Amino acid sequence: MFSVSIIKSEIKMDIDDPPVIYGLETQARALCSVPALDDSQQFIIGTQGLRVEHNQLHLLTFDADSNSVSKRIFDHGRDEIWSVSVAPHNPNLCATVFNRVTMDSGTNPSVAKRWCLWKLPEEEDNQTPRHRNSSEDALTSSSLSSVESLQSIGSIELEQQGEPRCLAFHPERAEAVLVSDGGLYQLGLGSGAVRLLAHLPAKDGRSQLRYWHAAWNPHHSAQQVIAACDSGGLRGFDVRCPPSDGPVVVIDNAHNGQARCVDYNPNKQYYLASSGDDGAIRFWDTRQPSNPVKMLRLHKHWACCVQFNPYHDQLVLSGGTDAKVYLTNNRSISSEPVLSLDDDLDDDDDDDDRRQQQPELDEDRTVSVVEEHEDSVYAAVWCATDPWLFASLSYDGRLVISHVPKSEKYRILL
Amino acid sequence: AEPDRSSRNSRLRSFYQQGQVESDAASVGLNVDPCDIDGAGFDPEVYLSKLLQEQPLTSLMAKEQQMVDQIRQLDSDMQTLVYDNYSKFISATDTIRKMKSDFHRMEQEMNNLAESVSAMSQQAADVRQHVGGKRAELKRLAGVSALLHKLQYLLDLPARLTELRREGAHQQAIRAWQQADRVLSRYADLPSFRPIRADCLAIMAELRAQLWKRFNEGGSGTESGGEGGSGGGAPDARQLAELVDLLGQLGESEADLSAAFLRQADPRMQRLLGDLEAQAGSLQDDVLQFVDQGCNHLVSELCILIAVFGDIFPSPESRAKLEAYHESVMRSYLAIVSKRFCLEARESGGTGDSLLVRACDRFHRKLQAMHRLVTEGELSVRALAVVCDAAAERAGAVRAQLDLRLTAALSGLRSQLATAGARSVSLPQLMAGLLTELVDAVKAALAGLQAFLATDVSFSLKPAFRERFCVRAVRQELLAGFLNHQATQCARLAQLSPTPPPLLLLLLSRYCLDFRNSSLHYLCTLADEQFLVPESPQAEALVTPVSELSAVYSDSAAELLQAYVCASGGTLAGMLRKSVDARDWLQGIEPRSVRAVVKRVVEDLAGIDASVSSLYDEAPSGGGGRGGGDRSSDSSASRLARRPLTAASRSQWSATPSTLGNSLLHRLFSDKVDLLGPAEFGRASVVSGVVRLALKTLLECVRLKTFGRYGLQQVQVDCHYLHAFLWRYVSDDSVVHFLLEEILASAAHRCIDPVSMEQSVVELIVERD
């Protein structure tokens, strides 16, 4: 009890760390959190420069002590990166979806979207000191002298592939789902080779769907994958069923316009969140797909991404083309139990104090807004290893690494 | 205390005898005035000489005269006294003489008496001599005779009891038995008494049974008497009281008797209740008839029962039992009535009000009358509660009708908008129609419910009823509830996922605003007046304040407007998105014209502008940046005209893509533009919201594509066209400026071969379109 009050006074004295800003010279859309084995806080971002000679993947390691970022850079050639993802089971395995421009006969250029799996080279210890980028000189990225090269694991040509959008790694197995115009392709990644396991064509009866994003259901050893469609609907598939069975979850008109992103609640079965062009974040219970469990209308334009905090699922991160990143607490629909009365009865000293906070505690609310972006935010992710850290990337190449406000953190922990 | 003092004085005097003489003398010498004519020490000489010396002649003469008169007076007084004494003396001597003669006669009578007494003593001595030793024998015989007498009585008792029972002289029979029983029970072990006692017991049991039977008949007799009216029960009551008395003497406890009495009455009550209950479930019978039946049969009988019971069993315990019974019957009755009323309130149409009110009134009156009979319990309060419930239920039913009306009106409006198309209907007219319809509906509903407050209705003035019905049911749940429901219902449309037609949203937004401004206050005041809602803090605590409702309406209006902006902006955005997605921007020919979809967007925007301006006037509340006079007179047709090229400041904008660096610089030095802020209640703000949304979407779509040289040039042309036509619809030109520039910059950035078109050519193409 005593310790509680001490911490409380600390909260008041403690000021939140300022967000760390890291700048790219080119535009960027691709951002992914790296589940580093040593629990360091890493993010990977890819540049999107159409006419740039060297597109890059930047692997950034956040140092909480100095509140700064160190980086490793990997060369991605001329191909502009549209999406990047890192395998949860292997932080060195990453996949990118990129645009490759080819000039045939000089005048008629053609552009093709492709995807590839890469192996990030192991860090060579003490070879060169890591480049440190403190928040002050954030906008400049360093010379290309220390650029490392990626090792391609490979990619396979798929039938009716169309434009690939992104690759969603399986949370446990060496598998992935490639999201593309042609549908969902379940890929096996084991034993050093990529092979097609199943193809779930993007058909809805007769009409053709286009998938934009997909997420694995982390529950029940992850046998389901759900995809967001450009028609605004969501389609969930069970990979154990033959593709001809069609979707097991159908949520039509989840969004007015295109559905852009979907994410499963990591702690609460059947719950998922989706975002879309109507700017809304909707929370769904897949057992009752007719109505959303909850809706948030925060973004004034497209809501491009939404993600549950991997540990505290009441915290939801969302980014949109209105250049805003919202961190919301949706306690009412989270796996977090409602505070029992007994908790209150225990303390005597700060009983009143608590009771005053009580209604506030239970309410769903917007915890914080990242205002540092000036252009559309296409990606915002939680750090895979630190529940209180998240990063967001705007189109102008600005990465902002922010903390969950300490007051919120202690409220959840205490 | 007085004798004490005198004796003490005398003792003191005897003790101080010696000194007293001296002190007396001294006091005499001091106090005796020789001139006091009435005093003891009067000295005529001194007095005379004093008079002679002091008084003048005239007063001397007067004094002499006065003295002469006084002396004469004294003389006559003395004479009178002497005569009086003399006459008393004479009468005393007469009395003594008379007494002497009376004594003579008394002496004679005393002698006679003495003789008689001596004769009597003589006779007594004779008798004693005769009777002698037979005295004991006589005493025994007398005892035996008395005993035989009693035995005879006992032996006759069964026959006597039978006789009495047959004659109906229950009272005597019981008294006889009670007397005999004492003896019989004392000698119950003697064999000869046993059969007698058994006979008697049997007879008495029969008697008891007979009495019970009559008692039970009497109980039912009250019912049959009850049909004729309350007067018919009275004689029965007296008989019943007698029976109860008799049975009480036979050792039945009052508790048993009262319980039996109630048990006796119960089946009929239950039957009546059952009848009522059966009726309560349906609307077949008139509710008035229902109340009449309940009142005339059940309540009347209950009244009679209570009256009779009260007469027969006056003890407090019985009273408690009666109350419990009465309570149980009334509880069922009230429940049934409440059920019937509520059914009536729910099911009957608009015509049911007066009937229901009359039924309630009759019911309330009857139970109030009954309340006077049964003072304990809160019958009147509970009857009022039933009436309140019925009235509140009615208000609830009216509310439900209003809700249905609203739903119907909204869906009607929706279909009207869907079938008629955007241009052919007059939105203000539709809105006014909706406003009138719903306000009238509310007014009609309130007017209908006023029947409950008619002055001739017995409960209309009860404070509890006022509080429950007027304040809570009508003012709060009906009116405030409906108004709130209406606002939230409208706002709910804004949140539907497949959005309803945008025009509906626009119209309802204006409707909410107008409702707030004109009707909200009016309806609340009207209800306050019609239903006499008091301005007390208690009433205010129960009622949602108008300001709160007003805020709800404002919020709804804003939300609907925002939804409209999103919906119509979304429609335009969808068109743009599809057109961008579908086109192959990489391969393609040099642009010759503006893309059709862009023209379509501008046309649609004109339509949107026309719709919005028909409901929202030019001047927005927040004040747009430039509500210039050149625009206010424009009709929507002239708004379609392109930007006049003469306006120098505007033509400076060039459709040449600036580099990303420029855009960054622009961002650095310009304030962060709130691209998609909330729309205000004004034409310009709404339409520019739509424009911004469409352009922002176009920007995002462009960023997802890769362009060839001609693709970029097409975007250039489109942007220039938009720039030329959009300025009219926006409140702040700079935002459109910024967005178009941003689109061009993004397109250039996404272009493999960024060669832009000559500005003059772009203008030429746009000019041609």
For the ranges A319-333, B51-65, B414-428, B696-710, which has the lowest average pLDDT?
Answer: B414-428
Place of tokens 């003012």: B475
Whether the predicted pLDDT of B279 surpasses 80: no
Q: Say whether residue B582 is in contact with chain A using an 8 A CB cutoff.
A: no
Whether the predicted pLDDT of B629 surpasses 60: no
- Please indicate whether, in this complex, the C-beta atoms of A110 and B586 are within 8 angstroms of each other: yes
Whether the predicted pLDDT of B497 surpasses 80: no
B84 to A293, B74, B75, B88, B96: CA distances (angstroms):
133, 16, 15, 6, 19
What is the longest distance spanned by two Cα atoms in chain B?
A: 183
Size of interface A-B (CB pairs under 8 A): 64
Q: Which residues of B touch A295 (CB under 8 A)?
A: 495
- CA gap B184, B188 in Å, rounded: 5
- CA gap B716, B577 in Å, rounded: 17
Whether residue A23 is contained in a domain is answered as no
Place of tokens 């192959």: B584
> Tell me, what's the pLDDT at A2?
40
Please name every residue paired with A97 in a beta bridge, in sequence order, or none if there are none: A83, A115
Environment class of A297 (CB within 10 Å of its CB; exposed 0-12, middle 13-18, buried 19+): middle
What is the count of structural domains for chain A? 1
What domain range is A266 assigned to?
Answer: 254-335+359-413
Whether the predicted pLDDT of B219 surpasses 70: no
Whether the predicted pLDDT of A59 surpasses 70: yes
Min Cα separation B765/chain A (Å) = 25
Mean pLDDT of all residues in B615-643: 45
Q: Which residues of B touch A300 (CB under 8 A)?
A: 675-677
Contact A29, A395 (CB under 8 A): yes
- A52, A301, A371, A375, best to mutate vs chain B, most B CBs in 10 Å: A301
Confidence grade of residue A348 (pLDDT, cut at 50, 70, 90): very low
- Give the closest residue to A31 by CA, choosing from A325, A388, A309, A382: A382
Confidence grade of residue B77 (pLDDT, cut at 50, 70, 90): very high
- Give the closest residue to B468 by CA, choosing from B526, B393, B370: B393
- A98, A209, A300, best to mutate vs chain B, most B CBs in 10 Å: A300
Whether the predicted pLDDT of B534 surpasses 80: no
> Exposed e or buried b for every residue in B579-590, given b needs 16+ CB within 10 A?
bbeeeebbeeee
What does the block give as tokens for B717?
Answer: 């042309």
Contact A69, A19 (CB under 8 A): no
- B660, B691, B700, best to mutate vs chain A, most A CBs in 10 Å: B700
- CA gap B149, A267 in Å, rounded: 107
- CA gap B76, B89 in Å, rounded: 21
Contact B654, B628 (CB under 8 A): no
- Please indicate whether, in this complex, the C-beta atoms of B499 and A256 are within 8 angstroms of each other: yes
**Of A137-146, A167-176, A353-362, B635-644, which has the strongest mean pLDDT?**
A167-176
Nearest CA in chain B to A258: B574
> Tell me, what's the pLDDT at B211?
76
For the ranges A287-291, B469-473, B539-543, which has the lowest average pLDDT?
Answer: B539-543
A194 to A31, A117, B154, B247, B468: CA distances (angstroms):
23, 9, 125, 107, 75
> Tell me, what's the pLDDT at B456?
79
Q: Assign B251 to helix, strand or coil.
A: coil
Place of tokens 């005593």: A2
- Give the closest residue to B749 by CA, choosing from A25, A84, A392, A379: A25
Cα of A108 vs its chain's centroid, Å: 36
Whether the predicted pLDDT of A11 surpasses 50: no
Whether the predicted pLDDT of A211 surpasses 50: yes
Whether residue A94 is contained in a domain is answered as no
Q: Say whether residue B709 is in contact with chain A using an 8 A CB cutoff.
A: no
Q: Which residues of B touch A256 (CB under 8 A)?
A: 497-499, 570
Min Cα separation B497/chain A (Å) = 7
- Please indicate whether, in this complex, the C-beta atoms of A51 and B750 are within 8 angstroms of each other: no
Whether residue A373 is contained in a domain is answered as yes
- Please indicate whether, in this complex, the C-beta atoms of B587 and A108 are within 8 angstroms of each other: yes
- Please indicate whether, in this complex, the C-beta atoms of A256 and B676 are within 8 angstroms of each other: no
Place of tokens 């954030």: A138
> Tell me, what's the pLDDT at A207?
77
**What digits encode the pLDDT tens for the residues B187-201?**
777 777 777 777 777
A75 to A101, A140, A149, A397, B375: CA distances (angstroms):
17, 18, 5, 17, 98
Please name every residue paired with A235 in a beta bridge, in sequence order, or none if there are none: A227, A250
- CA gap B258, B318 in Å, rounded: 6
Mean pLDDT of all residues in A128-154: 57
Confidence grade of residue A6 (pLDDT, cut at 50, 70, 90): very low
Whether residue A382 is contained in a domain is answered as yes
Environment class of A343 (CB within 10 Å of its CB; exposed 0-12, middle 13-18, buried 19+): exposed
Contact B500, B421 (CB under 8 A): no
Q: Say whether residue A295 is in contact with chain B using an 8 A CB cutoff.
A: yes
Neighbours of A272 (CB within 10 A): 25
More confident residue, B323 or A82: A82
Q: Assign B435 to helix, strand or coil.
A: helix
Whether the predicted pLDDT of A131 surpasses 80: no
Confidence grade of residue A319 (pLDDT, cut at 50, 70, 90): very high
> Tell me, what's the pLDDT at B375?
62
In chain B, DSSP finds a helix count (H) and a strand count (E) of 30, 0
Whether residue A220 is contained in a domain is answered as no
For the ranges A105-109, A350-354, B631-635, B726-730, which has the lowest average pLDDT?
Answer: B631-635
Single pTM value for the model:
0.68
Contacts of residues A198-204 at CB distance under 8 Å and 24 or more positions apart, as own/partner, are A198/A239, A198/A243, A199/A158, A199/A159, A199/A243, A200/A237, A200/A243, A201/A160, A201/A243, A202/A229, A204/A229, A204/A231, A204/A233, A204/A235
- Give the closest residue to B308 by CA, choosing from B366, B242, B241, B372: B241
- CA gap B499, B567 in Å, rounded: 7
> Tell me, what's the pLDDT at B350?
55
> Tell me, what's the pLDDT at A343?
47
Whether the predicted pLDDT of B372 surpasses 80: no
pLDDT over 70, % of chain A: 84
Whether residue A168 is contained in a domain is answered as no
Mean pLDDT of all residues in B28-51: 74
Min Cα separation A163/chain B (Å) = 12
Confidence grade of residue B421 (pLDDT, cut at 50, 70, 90): low
Q: Which residues of B touch A302 (CB under 8 A)?
A: 697, 700
- CA gap B333, B273 in Å, rounded: 7
**What digits encode the pLDDT tens for the residues A278-297?**
888 999 999 988 889 998 98
- Give the closest residue to B386 by CA, choosing from B336, B422, B428: B336
For the ranges A218-222, A274-278, B632-636, which has the lowest average pLDDT?
Answer: B632-636
Q: Are strands A68-77 and A148-149 parallel, antiparallel or unpaired?
A: parallel
> Tell me, what's the pLDDT at B640?
42
Q: How many residues does chain B have?
A: 769
> Tell me, what's the pLDDT at A84?
94
- CA gap B86, B97 in Å, rounded: 17
Whether the predicted pLDDT of A238 surpasses 50: yes
Q: Say whether residue B584 is in contact with chain A using an 8 A CB cutoff.
A: no
> Tell me, what's the pLDDT at A361?
56
> Tell me, what's the pLDDT at A328?
93
Q: What is the mean pLDDT of chain B?
A: 77
Confidence grade of residue B30 (pLDDT, cut at 50, 70, 90): low
> Tell me, what's the pLDDT at B3?
61
Measured between its terminal Cα atoms, the distance across chain B in Å is 144
What does the block give as tokens for A340?
Answer: 């029992």
Confidence grade of residue B339 (pLDDT, cut at 50, 70, 90): confident
> Tell me, what's the pLDDT at A266?
92
- CA gap B553, B509 in Å, rounded: 9
- CA gap A382, A308 in Å, rounded: 8
Place of tokens 């600005």: A398
- Please indicate whether, in this complex, the C-beta atoms of B570 and A278 are within 8 angstroms of each other: yes
Min Cα separation A374/chain B (Å) = 8
Gyration radius of chain B's alpha carbons? 61
Mean pLDDT of all residues in B637-665: 45
What does the block give as tokens for B742?
Answer: 């941003």
What's A267's domain CATH number?
2.130.10.10
Measured between its terminal Cα atoms, the distance across chain A in Å is 11
Whether the predicted pLDDT of B109 surpasses 80: yes
Q: Say whether residue A257 is in contact with chain B using an 8 A CB cutoff.
A: yes
Mean pLDDT of all residues in B741-763: 87
> Tell me, what's the pLDDT at A133?
46
Portion 188-217 of A in contact with B at CB < 8 A: none
- Please indicate whether, in this complex, the C-beta atoms of A301 and B751 are within 8 angstroms of each other: no
- CA gap A46, A399 in Å, rounded: 11
Confidence grade of residue B634 (pLDDT, cut at 50, 70, 90): very low
Contact A248, A241 (CB under 8 A): yes
A368 to A12, A16, A359: CA distances (angstroms):
17, 12, 19
pLDDT over 70, % of chain B: 83
- Please indicate whether, in this complex, the C-beta atoms of B752 and A27 are within 8 angstroms of each other: no
For the ranges A6-20, B73-87, B117-131, B587-601, which has the lowest average pLDDT?
Answer: A6-20
Whether the predicted pLDDT of A331 surpasses 90: no
Q: What is the DSSP string of B101-118?
A: HHHHHHHHHHHHHHHHHH
Helix axes A406-413, A2-13, angle to 10 degrees: 160
Q: Say whether residue A278 is in contact with chain B using an 8 A CB cutoff.
A: yes
- Give the closest residue to B485 by CA, choosing from B407, B430, B398, B563: B407
Q: Say whether residue A321 is in contact with chain B using an 8 A CB cutoff.
A: yes
- A83, A113, A283, A321, best to mutate vs chain B, most B CBs in 10 Å: A321
pLDDT over 90, % of chain B: 2
Of the CA atoms within 13 Å of residue B619, those in its CB half-sphere come to 2
Min Cα separation B567/chain A (Å) = 9
> Tell me, what's the pLDDT at B1?
54
Mean pLDDT of all residues in A40-63: 89
Mean pLDDT of all residues in B531-560: 82
Place of tokens 């779930």: A200
For the ranges B12-16, B383-387, B679-683, which has the lowest average pLDDT?
Answer: B12-16
Name the residue facing B570 among A50, A109, A256 (closest C-beta). A256
Mean pLDDT of all residues in B683-690: 84
Portion 492-521 of B in contact with A at CB < 8 A: 495, 497-499
More confident residue, A111 or B617: A111
Whether the predicted pLDDT of B644 surpasses 70: no
Confidence grade of residue A399 (pLDDT, cut at 50, 70, 90): very high
Contact B756, B719 (CB under 8 A): no
Q: Say whether residue B675 is in contact with chain A using an 8 A CB cutoff.
A: yes
More confident residue, B548 or B266: B548
Q: Which residues of A touch B750 (CB under 8 A)?
A: 50
More confident residue, B705 or B283: B705
> Tell me, what's the pLDDT at B352?
61
> Tell me, what's the pLDDT at B448?
82
Confidence grade of residue A217 (pLDDT, cut at 50, 70, 90): very high
* SS3 per-residue string spanning chain A: CHHHHHHHHHHHHCCCCCCEEEECCCEEEEEEEECCCCCCEEEEEEEECCCCCCEEEEEEEEECCCCEEEEEEEEEECCEEEEEEEECCEEEEEEEEEEEEEEECCCEEEEEEEEEEEECCCCCCCCCCCEEECCCCCCCCCCHHHCEECEEEECCCCCCCCCEEEEEECCCCCEEEEEECCEEEEEECHHHCCEEEEEEECEECCEECCEEEEEECCCCCCCEEEEEECCCCEEEEECCCCHHHCCCEEECCCCCCCEEEEEECCCCCCEEEEEECCCEEEEEECCCCCCCCEEEECCCCCEEEEEECCCCCCEEEEEECCCCEEEEECHHHCCCCCCCHHHHHHCCCCHHHHHHHHHHHHCCEEEEEECCCCCCEEEEEECCCCCCEEEEEECCCEEEEEECCHHHHHHHHC
More confident residue, A372 or B345: A372
For the ranges A114-128, B319-333, B401-415, which has the lowest average pLDDT?
Answer: A114-128
Whether residue A86 is contained in a domain is answered as no
Q: What ipTM was predicted for this assembly?
A: 0.85
- B492, B497, B664, B750, best to mutate vs chain A, most A CBs in 10 Å: B497
Confidence grade of residue A135 (pLDDT, cut at 50, 70, 90): very low
